[in-house]
Amino acid sequence: MSGCELLAAAAGCLREGDPDTKAALTRATAARIRRGELRRAPDNDWSPAADPGRPPRPVLVPPRDLHQRGLDRPDGRAALVHAVAHIEFNAINLAWDAVQRFADMPEDFAADWARVADDEARHFTLLRERLHALGHDYGDFPAHDGLWQMAAATADDVLARMALVPRVLEARGLDVTPAMIRRLQAAGDAETAACLEVILREEVAHVAIGSRWFRWLCTQRALPPRETYFRLLAERMGSRIRCPLNRPARLAAGFDEAELERLEALCG
């Protein structure tokens, strides 16, 4: 099979708008890549897809327009599950976009992000099933588009993508999820807490993949990793960081102590 077929398969997963179909297609495509049925070779004629497919709902609004609901209420717990499900839906798109957009990266890069897409599809399905149990479905609550906006902002440079999507936005999930789990457990929702425990454990590996490829790219470009990370953070995000940081999870995900200390200093 030609190398373009792997890229086209990744783009097909990205463009699919129906959530059920996207999840199923993602899992099937990732399995084909693992089996070696879809391989990638340089293709100078390849043009990556620009935008992901989306269902008509949820309605996308600015983050400030999302209202917090108490976890002591079923609709509050459903809203939280919906917010995380939306992140996972976008994470499927982010992973496939990395595969199909940065086609000159090593083949292992494509294999890594296809594996991430597979995990994110499983996470999305797990959370959607939990939403059903709570009497809701994906699309019932508004959501924001911050993750994909950052994907668009880093479409010009794989180094910026690896620095700012897995190592900033997705790493933020490592910071906030433990508190979410504790709040859900306190509210008596052990089922949702268990879902988030699975996701937290596996997201550490996803951020670690971003860390590994970020450092690989720095080596290829003869750039100092720590200084490059903080330069990109300043240039593209205004050095905006929220604390507290989940130090153990971030260390396991490829951050070092010096990076964490510097990030914490930015929190003010």
pLDDT at 268: 61
pTM: 0.95
pLDDT band at 265 (very low <50, low <70, confident <90, very high): very high
Tokens 């399995």 correspond to 31
32 within domain boundaries: yes
pLDDT at 66: 79
- pLDDT, tens digit, for every residue of 27-79? 999 999 999 999 776 567 789 999 999 999 999 998 877 777 788 888 999 99
Q: Map residue 164 onto helix, strand or coil.
A: helix
Q: Report the range of poorest mean pLDDT among 49-53, 93-97, 143-147, 163-167.
A: 143-147
DSSP assigned state of 148: H
Could you give the CA distance from residue 57 to residue 68 in angstroms, rounded to a whole number? Answer: 19
* pLDDT > 70? residue 195: yes
55 within domain boundaries: no
Which is higher by pLDDT, 56 or 145?
56
Could you give the CA distance from residue 160 to residue 101 in angstroms, rounded to a whole number? Answer: 13
pLDDT at 1: 38
CA distances from 77 to 84, 134, 178, 207 (A): 11, 8, 15, 26
Q: Which two tokens stand for residue 15?
A: 């463009």
pLDDT at 43: 66
The enclosing H or E element of 248 equals: helix 247-252
Could you give the CA distance from residue 177 to residue 182 in angstroms, rounded to a whole number? Answer: 9
CATH number at residue 86: 1.20.1260
User: Domain range holding 160?
Assistant: 4-38+71-266
Mean pLDDT over each residue of the chain, to the nearest integer: 94
151 within domain boundaries: yes
258 within domain boundaries: yes
Q: Using alpha carbons, select from 21, 101, 7, 94 the residue that is nearest to residue 55.
A: 21
Could you give the CA distance from residue 34 to residue 119 in angstroms, rounded to a whole number? Answer: 13
135 within domain boundaries: yes
59 within domain boundaries: no
Q: How many CA atoms lie within 13 A of 169 on its CB side?
A: 21
CA distances from 215 to 11, 209, 229 (A): 26, 10, 10
Mean pLDDT for the stretch of residues 239-257: 96
pLDDT at 2: 46
* pLDDT > 60? residue 234: yes
66 within domain boundaries: no
Total count of domains within the chain = 1
Compute the residue count for the chain: 268
Mean pLDDT for the stretch of residues 169-190: 96
Could you give the CA distance from residue 10 to residue 48 in angstroms, rounded to a whole number? Answer: 10
63 within domain boundaries: no
pLDDT at 65: 78
* pLDDT > 80? residue 82: yes
Beta carbons of 148 and 52 less than 8 angstroms apart = yes
- pLDDT, tens digit, for every residue of 105-117? 999 999 999 999 9
pLDDT at 42: 59
* pLDDT > 50? residue 200: yes
